[in-house]
């Protein structure tokens, strides 16, 4: 669809006739306001815009079109030969600038180029959208449950809604938040994630809002808060349920006013960020008990995405396990190539209380401890039994606290030594120096833990 805008009926009919002769559908408007109204209804691919219009000139219409319909290609038409007008039109985003009287062949050529540009931009955006959707599927898995989440992300990403992402620990809440940011118009601006439960309460307000020099003891310089560092982008408030009540009220004011007042500052400053919140707790229960503000809850939950637990999307387990195995074998330079069918069956039957994060940790340990090309049922069973015991109770199998601590220490030692050998590419002497131990002690531990330095060469 082409929309032509010209206050001269003769010129309007001429332009329309040229467009129709090339097989294009065309509508004609005679002034700026009616052109913008038609554009809102028709979503034209191309706007042929006269510069001199009554009331609202072509430059003003061009600016409005670029803001409201960025995919529409605009070609300016004018009787003026002033070079400044052409320069300004180009600066405002016009595709081309033609002078009257209209040359039939020149206009046909420009229309073809402009529409080709429009179609190319649309195809590029379609491919980018497929890529973005594919990236999230590659991270989370191919199951129908994941596809439903991707559809929600795609639907909300281009809006200005605040989003609340719900899900158990390890289900990928930050991954989904990043996908929303990347698919939005803010995708080239900062994405800042803040764990509301990881920062001590006395420091949290300064971390969020920033502070002026001298605002409190130890504030020896001005510091921008996370909100201002994300200007133009997205802030993820992870574990929002841990936010203290006092800060909940201040966050609500920021959300409603889009203004931030750093500690010690005399006035507020404007803020342009999108907020995404994430939590693994039921905020409606917190609202009922009075530990979370109802007004803040509804302000954050303009759109809600509930992430399914891994046990509720078991179709993804073989895919994710294989992906984590391939990543880890490259990282650790291990010979592992596959899971045995019965090992995969064990993974499929496990409850996975820690979800994808737990699956990744288990697979990394399996790769580390597998000397051959195949992860066997026996190795998988040993790790899953230990994982199940830890998830239920550290003393469920009758072990003492000291025994549990010893096992945890061995696991930590094994991981640290493996990572160090990977860094040194199997050089035990260099690894011993990095670990601040002697070569003989490291050699003994390697034998005790079943780690072979040559596997990291």
Residue pLDDT, tens place only, 194-217? 988 777 766 777 888 888 887 777
Please give the structure tokens belonging to residue 25.
């559908």
Rg (CA), the chain: 30
Report the pLDDT value the prediction gives residue 132, as an integer from 0 to 100: 55
pLDDT winner (highest mean) among 270-274, 284-288, 423-427, 440-444:
270-274
N-to-C CA span, the chain: 63
- 436, exposed or middle or buried, with CB in 10 Å at 0-12, 13-18, 19+? exposed
2 in helix, strand or coil? Answer: strand
Residue pLDDT, tens place only, 25-74? 998 998 888 889 989 988 999 999 888 888 888 889 888 888 888 888 99
Confidence of residue 170 (pLDDT cuts 50, 70, 90): very high
For residue 76, pLDDT beyond 90: no
Confidence of residue 126 (pLDDT cuts 50, 70, 90): low
Q: Which of the two residues, 95 and 317, has the higher pLDDT score?
A: 317
Report the pLDDT value the prediction gives residue 274, as an integer from 0 to 100: 95
Find the angle CA(434)-CA(437)-CA(443) to the nearest 5 degrees: 100
Report the pLDDT value the prediction gives residue 390, as an integer from 0 to 100: 55
Rounded Cα distance between 414 and 393, Å, is: 23
The mean pLDDT of 289-313, rounded to a whole number, is 93
Distances (CA, A) of 124 to 78, 134, 426: 31, 15, 45
Residue reference for tokens 């992402």 = 165
The mean pLDDT of 253-266, rounded to a whole number, is 87
398 CB neighbour count, 10 Å cutoff: 6
Please give the structure tokens belonging to residue 219.
């504030």
Residue reference for tokens 């920062």 = 199
Report the pLDDT value the prediction gives residue 403, as an integer from 0 to 100: 55
Instruction: Please name the CATH architecture into which domain 312-456 falls.
Output: Orthogonal Bundle (1.10)
Report the pLDDT value the prediction gives residue 123, as an integer from 0 to 100: 65
Q: Which range among 20-29, 51-60, 131-140, 258-267 shows the weakest confidence by mean pLDDT?
A: 131-140
Instruction: Please name the CATH architecture into which domain 141-308 falls.
Output: 3-Layer(aba) Sandwich (3.40)
Q: Which range among 27-31, 348-352, 448-452 shows the weakest confidence by mean pLDDT?
A: 448-452
Confidence of residue 402 (pLDDT cuts 50, 70, 90): low
Q: Where are the domains of the chain?
A: 2-122, 141-308, 312-456
Question: What average pLDDT is seen over the chain?
Answer: 85
Instruction: Please name the CATH architecture into which domain 2-122 falls.
Output: 3-Layer(aba) Sandwich (3.40)
Q: Which of the two residues, 85 and 353, has the higher pLDDT score?
A: 353
Q: Name which of 131, 135, 132, 139 is nearest 320 in CA terms.
A: 139
Q: Which of the two residues, 240 and 207, has the higher pLDDT score?
A: 240
CB 168 within 8 A of CB 311: no
Please give the structure tokens belonging to residue 275.
């907020």
Confidence of residue 92 (pLDDT cuts 50, 70, 90): confident
Report the pLDDT value the prediction gives residue 397, as an integer from 0 to 100: 44
For residue 130, pLDDT beyond 70: no
Report the pLDDT value the prediction gives residue 305, as an integer from 0 to 100: 96
DSSP states of 37-53: HHHHHH--SEEEEES--
Positive/negative CA dihedral, 320, 326, 329, 335: positive
Report the pLDDT value the prediction gives residue 399, as an integer from 0 to 100: 46
> Do the domains 2-122 and 141-308 sit in the same CATH topology, yes or no?
yes
Q: Name which of 38, 11, 14, 40 is nearest 27 in CA terms.
A: 38
Report the pLDDT value the prediction gives residue 401, as an integer from 0 to 100: 59
Please give the structure tokens belonging to residue 182.
């990347």
Report the pLDDT value the prediction gives residue 398, as an integer from 0 to 100: 45
The mean pLDDT of 159-170, rounded to a whole number, is 94
Q: Which of the two residues, 239 and 405, has the higher pLDDT score?
A: 239
The mean pLDDT of 168-195, rounded to a whole number, is 92
């Amino acid at each position: 669809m082409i929309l032509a805008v010209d206050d001269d009926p003769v010129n309007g009919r001429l332009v329309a006739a040229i467009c129709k002769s090339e097989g294009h559908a065309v509508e004609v408007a005679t002034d700026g306001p009616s052109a913008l109204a038609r554009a809102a209804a028709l979503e034209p691919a191309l706007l042929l815009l006269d510069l001199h219009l009554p009331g609202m000139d072509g430059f003003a219409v061009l600016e409005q079109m670029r803001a409201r319909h960025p995919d529409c290609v605009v070609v300016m038409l004018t009787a003026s030969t002033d070079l400044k007008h052409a320069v300004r039109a180009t600066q405002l985003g016009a595709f081309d600038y033609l002078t009257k009287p209209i040359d039939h062949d020149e206009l046909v050529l420009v229309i073809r180029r402009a529409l080709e540009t429009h179609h190319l931009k649309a195809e590029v955006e379609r491919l980018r959208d497929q890529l973005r959707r594919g990236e999230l599927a590659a991270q989370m898995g191919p199951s129908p449950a994941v596809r439903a989440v991707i559809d929600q992300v795609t639907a909300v990403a281009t809006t200005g809604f605040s989003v609340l992402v719900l899900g158990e620990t390890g289900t990928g809440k930050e991954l989904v938040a990043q996908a929303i940011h990347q698919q939005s118009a803010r995708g080239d601006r900062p994405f800042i994630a803040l764990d509301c439960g990881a920062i001590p309460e006395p420091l949290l307000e300064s971390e969020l809002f920033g502070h002026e020099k001298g605002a409190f003891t130890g504030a020896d310089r001005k510091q921008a808060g996370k909100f201002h560092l994300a200007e133009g982008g997205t802030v993820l408030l992870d574990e929002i349920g841990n936010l203290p009540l006092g800060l909940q009220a201040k966050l609500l004011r920021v959300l409603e006013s889009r203004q931030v007042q750093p500690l010690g500052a005399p006035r507020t400053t404007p803020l342009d960020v999108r907020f995404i919140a994430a939590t693994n707790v039921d905020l409606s229960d917190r609202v009922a008990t009075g530990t979370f503000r109802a007004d803040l809850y509804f302000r954050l939950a303009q759109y809600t995405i509930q992430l399914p637990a891994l046990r509720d999307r078991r179709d993804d387990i073989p895919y994710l396990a294989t992906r984590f195995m391939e990543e880890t074998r490259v990282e650790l330079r291990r010979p592992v190539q596959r899971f045995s069918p019965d090992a995969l069956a064990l993974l499929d039957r496990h409850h996975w209380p820690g979800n994808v994060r737990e699956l990744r940790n288990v697979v990394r340990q399996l790769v580390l401890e597998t000397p051959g090309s195949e992860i066997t049922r026996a190795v998988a069973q040993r790790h899953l039994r230990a994982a199940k015991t830890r998830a239920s109770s550290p003393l469920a199998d009758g072990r003492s606290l000291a025994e549990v601590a010893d096992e945890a220490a061995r696991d930590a030692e094994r991981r640290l030594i493996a990572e160090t050998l990977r860094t040194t590419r199997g050089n035990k002497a260099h690894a011993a120096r990095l670990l601040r131990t002697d070569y003989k002690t490291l050699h003994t531990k390697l034998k005790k833990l079943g780690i072979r330095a040559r596997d990291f060469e």
